[in-house]
Structure formats: C-alpha cells, structure tokens
Amino acid sequence: MFDAPMLSTASKIIKEADFAISYDQAMELAQLPENQTMDLLAFANKIREHYKGRKVFTCSITNAKSGRCAENCSFCAQSAHHNTHIKTYDLLPEDTFVDQAALFEKQGATQYSMVTSGQNPSHAEIQTICSATAKIAASTHMTTCASLGMLDESKARQLSQSGVKRYHHNFETARSYFDQICTSHKYDDNIGTIRAARQAGMHICSGGIFGLGETWAHRVELAFTLKELDVDSVPINFLNPIQGTRLQDRPLLSPLEALKSIALIRFILPDKDITICGGREITLKDFQSWVFFAGANGLMIGNYLTTQGRSIDTDIDMIRELGFTIEPAV
C-alpha cells in the first residue's frame, strides 16, 4: 500500500499545472521510513517521465584552471587551505577548450563547461573563455556553459554575448548550514552571482553536494532556495571525501539515501533539469543506472575536476540500453 500523502502529492504534481509542493509536504517525504524509499523513487520517476519524457542530456567539463583557490570550502581539493597534492595550473589556452569540446561531442556529450578554481575570474580570463566559446559555437553543436566563480553584471554580459548559454554556480548546501562548509564568502554573494547571470540572459545551473553532514531539513531548504530563484538546472553531487580536506573522514551516503535525495529534488522541482555529477561512482556503485528512475534527466560524463569518472562509453551505453535518447537540454 502506497503512503497516501505521497500518492496524493505526486498525483497533484503530475495532473495540476499550478500545484506546488509545500515545505511541510516535502519534509514529510524526506522523513518517510527507509522501507518506503522505493515507492518514493517510483513516483519521482513518474514525475520525470511526465515533464521530461525519455530524453537525457549529457554534460562534460574541463578543469580549466586548477588549485590555489583562496576559498575555504571544507570538501574541496582545490582550496589553498588544504594539502591535497593536486596538480595546479593557470587558465588553459583557448584552443584546448575548443579541442576538448569537439572531442566530448564526438564521445556523446551535449553540453560542455569550462570550470575554473578561484573566487573571481580576471578580465583576461573572461576574454579567453569568451573567445573559446565563440570558436566552440562555430565548430560544434554543443551547449556551452561556464563555472568561473563570482560574477558582476559586466562579466556576465560578456559571457552571455560570447555565446555562453548556461552559468553554473553551486550553493553547495543550505543557507543555515553554509557556515559549516565555507566562511570565505557569504551566501548572498552566490545569490548575487546567479541574479547577474540571469539578468545577462544565461540559463542558471545551480545545486549542491549531498553528504557534507547536512540533515534532510537542510536538503529541503536548499531545494526551496533553488525553487525561489527559479534555476533551470540542478546539478547534484555526492561527497567524495578527499584526503587532505577537512571532510576527508566523512562517511559516504548509502546508495538508497543518495537516490532518495534525487527523488526529493524531483518532487520539489518537478519541471527542472536534474543532473547527477561528481561522487556518483563511489556513492552509488552498481546503482548508477537508478538515477534516472529516481528522477534525474541529466548525467555528467567523463572526468570531474580532480577525480576520475568512469568510461564515457560505459555511461553512453547505459543510457541507451535503458531506452533513453540523448538530446541537449532545452
């Protein structure tokens, strides 16, 4: 027997265009016992099918500038506050981005993002990213994204005018838990960047990392912040504890808790894109194909910033064998 509130909420999300789940309703779902997780996944899958059909998009990224970041995010291998022995380097040449975008497209990616460490991109870095974006647009069919840290209105306009379609900027966690993860910038700085990118005409990709020690209430709070800001795409990461970071000893989420987290986001943000990104291999293990049946409709493929992903061919085969078609996100 399905939980009655769960069934009622899912039905309204699918059938009533103006229905929006409340915070209290979301918390009820978050607090369901573990033996009802599979039911929650099943309904999240129905919601995904209703809004997204059988289409999946695939993201790929380049670690465009690595390490020496002044931010003190507790999970991050690239923070100068941590000793993680990663490779550090300045911004790569623009031709590297153009070549990598073409390679990723050939391998099956539909979106390509250039990601830099550091809080604020310099004007020279913005110019390089913009030039690379124009070349990528001329030579591929990829949707070009960027994740460069904090933006002001001027830099956001430059990126948008060059052809950057989506700007990625994660909150990482809820406002009420943020000071446990990062104290080198304010939560409102993140909101300002998102609003600047939106004002410049870019779509917004913003989400967080689950498994930082946050509660279910924090996850719901983050989702409602994203809902209030009307972001277009929600990237979900799972903590991969890196030696040398403050969270190096944090235990992994169980596969079922990770999948339940995806499902909860789908209930709260039924019509948004949900992309599963870093940490899925180590957290989900043999359950990676379940992310779509938990409500996701996007997958990051290839390597991440400082950690390895699994074979792109394996992921592309998985998507197709599940009966999904790979298409760019709208």
- Tell me what pLDDT residue 2 has: 78
The domain limits of the chain are 4-326
E strands present in 3-116 = 55-65, 111-116
CATH number for the 4-326 domain, one of 3.20.20.70, 3.40.50.720, 3.40.50.970, 3.90.550.10?
3.20.20.70
Helix (H, G, I), strand (E, B) or coil at 292: coil
Tens of pLDDT, residue by residue over 208-251, are 999 999 999 999 999 999 999 999 999 999 999 999 999 999 99
pLDDT tens for the 330 residues of the chain, in order? 678 889 999 999 999 989 999 999 999 999 999 999 999 999 999 999 999 999 999 999 999 999 999 999 999 999 999 999 999 999 999 999 999 999 999 999 999 999 999 999 999 999 999 999 999 999 999 999 999 999 999 999 999 999 999 999 999 999 999 999 999 999 999 999 999 999 999 999 999 999 999 999 999 999 999 999 999 999 999 999 999 999 999 999 999 999 999 999 999 999 999 999 999 999 999 999 999 999 999 999 999 999 999 999 999 999 999 999 999 886
Is this structure's pTM higher than 0.85? Answer: yes
What is the predicted pLDDT for the residue at 94? 96
Residues ≥6 apart with Cβ < 8 Å to 309? 281, 300, 301, 302, 303, 315
The string of DSSP codes covering 184-202 is SS-HHHHHHHHHHHHHTT-
198, two tokens: 């939106």
Q: CA-based Rg of the chain, rounded to a whole angstrom?
A: 19
Return the pLDDT at 217: 98
